[in-house]
Structure 1
Amino acid sequence: MPLGRLAEPAEIASVVEFVLSADSSFMTGSVLVADGGYTAR
């Protein structure tokens, strides 16, 4: 469901923070899309 708005910088920063953290250590070869649902249309 598209959110219908642009992301706030803090929202994108949260995604980057997750990818750089130990919480994502088990992820391999994944593509994370942080587009507010735009590609889900």
Structure 2
Amino acid sequence: AKVVTFLLSDKSTYVSGSDWAVDGGLGARSA
């Protein structure tokens, strides 16, 4: 939800060509 909120805000006016993984933390692994 934070990524969507950011993308809909005025702060994201210069964002282009980005690839963000929004998977709820499933991609986070311990070392």
| TM score, norm. by length of structure 2 | 0.52
Share of identical aligned residues, percent?
Answer: 46
**Structure 2 residue runs without a partner (length 5+):** none
1:26 pairs with one of 1, 8, 14: 14
- Gapped runs of 5+ residues in structure 1? 1-12
Instruction: Determine helix, strand or coil for the equivalent of 1:28.
Output: coil
Structure 1 moving runs of 4+ over 6 Å: none
Q: TM-score, normalized by length of structure 1?
A: 0.47
